[in-house]
Amino acid sequence: MTTKSALFLALIAGAIYPLGFAPFGYFSVALLSALVFFLLLVRAPHLAPWSALVFGFGKYLVGISWVYVSLNQYGSAPPLLAGMLVLLFVVVMALFCWPIGLFYKRLHSANQYLNGLVFIALWLVMEWSLTWLFTGFPWLFLGYGAIDSALAGVAPVAGVLATSAFGLVSVVGFALVSLLWVEGQRGRLLVPGLALMVLPWVIGVLLSSVSWVQPIGQYSVALVQGNLDQTVKWDQDEQAANVRKHIELSAAHWDADLVVWSEFAVTLYGAQAHKTVDFLQTQGLASKTNVITGIPTLERLPRSEGGRRFNIYNTAQGYGLAQGGFAKYHLVPFGEFVPLEDWLRGLIEFFNLPMSGLKQGSWQQNNITLSLPPAASQTATASETQRLVIDGQNEERNKVQVAIGICYEIAYGNSMRDRAEEAGVILTISNDTWFGGSIGPHQHMQIARMRALENGRWLLRGTNNGVTAIVNAQGKMVDQLPQFEAAVLRGEFAVMQGRTPYSRVGDWPILLLILLALVSAIMAKRRSPVPL
């Protein structure tokens, strides 16, 4: 195989990889992509670093093409400049794949099973690094594409990284069976290869039949999708109209146990927001409803702190019977804060987007607490309920924590696991309007579904223009609204109790296995430094 043909195959393999994810959903294509990538490393290890880099370029060129919409349509960057910035971003993201090839070239050996183990470990290191390195961009993990497959049963046990691992084990098994068959080694060595190919799916099916959590009550929710025009959403003369639109949409739904407005549904802040906040609090108490909305929160600073007079946070706030608030921790680079701000601010309009100078919330925050009626089958105890005084009447209600993930941070599995530990339901509010009719919002929705599956919690997703949806504790879509329409999704959700194994342990088991795999490969390489 020539260098050009190998790199061309790597590019095509990377470019088809995103077809395994929403909205396409061809998970087998993502597996085929990984299979071709692995075979290229095996057949041309001397080209491994370049193959990995080109694979990553194709993967992200197609998979995160939706960034262009933000830059061009909402950031006012001309097409050429927007395209150049997207290409720069794609190159940076491709660099995450480059170490797969670099270290495979150093660690590969004559033992193809060991080579497969090295490939799986390096791929998983790449995905894990995307959750924290340079603030992280945890997108397009192989495990996300598996959410509608038999491998989904792995996620509540060991998380999305382990789900990726199971898919990769199957890929390596298929590749080794093919290689051994072609090389005429059709004896005992084929049996382990066949086992690797089939066993992950058998385990996934068996785990899918296990119930890790139980429902303790069912409640109604109204998710308000305002469909605000992003180009004028923050204009001063539109801010009051934004609130009125949400109030009008909510008018018939104040009888729901929970009413949710999306991220930055309220674009007023400080003193300007007082009337809206008072209305939501009063209306929520009067109708015995929990209300949660996305709203900017202003924190005034002492005069001594330089020229900046206040901090602004992207928050979800509870009103009515709901108590507490949550300030977004994982901010979007360039969208919510500008790295190297002194150099980039004002360079192009994109770096001056509304609310692009937000303050990061603290890592440790309390969950928002809902007050919900006791379930019909539940006997109230002092530890489970609180007694509220509403309109002069005593009423016992359950206190239920809700784990909040604002927009982009739903992609951070470990953060959401921490927040969901004591919560009975997960709520994510978002504004994917930035990505228009691209594939981005669908990928984002699929990631949110994985958080429900990992933690065994129903997930409620309220967005400005889609995808607004209700997801059950098995990660399945129960109902959703069409995109780009002003509407309300009225439905029911269950509060869950109990914890999944992943909720209890997190990613440590799979990370330990990755470390053991790489140490084993290094030791084997030292014993036999030159591959046969």
By annotation, the residues acting in catalysis are 263, 328, 407
The pair of three-digit structure tokens given for residue 47, joined into one six-digit string: 């080209």
For residue 94, CA distances in Å to 29, 63, 117, 417 come to 20, 11, 22, 28
**DSSP character string of 92-121:** HHHTTTHHHHHHHHHH--S-HHHHHHHHHH
Q: At what angle do helices 155-182 and 440-455 cross, to 10 degrees?
A: 110
Residues 6+ apart with CB under 8 A from 275: none
Alpha-carbon torsion angle 165, 168, 170, 171, nearest 10: 180
Neighbours of 111 (CB within 10 A): 15
Contact 120, 165 (CB under 8 A): yes
Residue with tokens 């594409």: 145
Cis peptide before 23, with omega less than 30 degrees from 0?
A: yes
Element (H, E) at 214: strand 214-225
**Cα angle at 317 between 314 and 321, to 5 degrees?**
175
The pair of three-digit structure tokens given for residue 110, joined into one six-digit string: 């004559």
Q: Is the dihedral of CA 129, 131, 132, 135 positive or negative?
A: positive
Instruction: Return the closest-CA partner of residue 64 out of 40, 35, 94, 38.
Output: 94
> Could you say which DSSP state residue 333 is in?
B
Distance CA 213, CA 495 (A): 10
The pair of three-digit structure tokens given for residue 462, joined into one six-digit string: 């309220």
Residues 6+ apart with CB under 8 A from 498: 212, 213, 214, 456
Q: Is the dihedral of CA 328, 330, 333, 338 positive or negative?
A: positive
Give the SS3 label for residue 89: helix
Pairing of strands 325-327, 310-320: antiparallel
Distance CA 276, CA 274 (A): 5
